[in-house]
Amino acid sequence: MIKSERVSYILQRLEELYPETPVPLDHSDPFTLLIAVLLSAQCTDVRVNQITPKLFGELGKTPQALAAQPVAKIEAIVKPCGLGPQKAKAIQKLSQILLDQHGGQVPCDLAALEELPGVGHKTAQVVMAQSFGVPSFPVDTHIHRLAQRWKLTDGKNVTQTERDLKRLFPEASWNKLHLQIIFYGREFCSARGCDGTVCEICTTLFPERKRALKTKKA
């Protein structure tokens, strides 16, 4: 298949497999999503979903509530997510910044989100996509890996992968598609479960591929 044919097949097959794309992180508004995505760095969504009810239930789920909490109290709860000191400090500080600079609201602005402590480009894009419906293509390790296996990018880095995927796929598909690729990567094309020669999409796109494909890390 040429690249345009691969793109069409991927869109069609992922839509068949995942017609619904619920956000994996439990949340109730842009702020709770922001905190959940921040906590998900180097942590599973399952673990984050176990921790956030305790965090929000005991300490509050608004910038006002979390800005008023001692960092140590936040850390005691979020510690199981890993990087506890950094994440706790970021949560307290970004909550205060939202109060001081954004009227206690999560801004619908990518640059403003990226300026918040603990919020990188991917986290900001997730919030823009899932809370505000702004077309975005957050690239995580699953997407970076699959984009290489499907020869949609050369995999130099996640920035290049994001740029290539945005160029290949219709903008209207981005917010749903990034979740569909994540779901597929977790279920069928994981780092250990497939090497580019095992799962359905890999074998359909590249039926002649015999050797395991080495993917570059993000």
Q: Which residues are the active-site residues?
A: 122, 140
Q: What's the rounded Cα separation, in Å, for the pair 79 and 88?
A: 8
∠ CA 27-39-165, nearest 5°, is: 85
C-alpha torsion 35→39→45→46, nearest 10: -100
Q: How far apart are CA 208 and CA 17, in angstroms?
A: 24
Q: How far apart are CA 3 and CA 1, in angstroms?
A: 6
Measured torsion, CA atoms of residues 108, 116, 111, 42, in degrees rounded to the nearest 10: -90
Q: Cβ distance 201 to 10 under 8 Å? A: yes
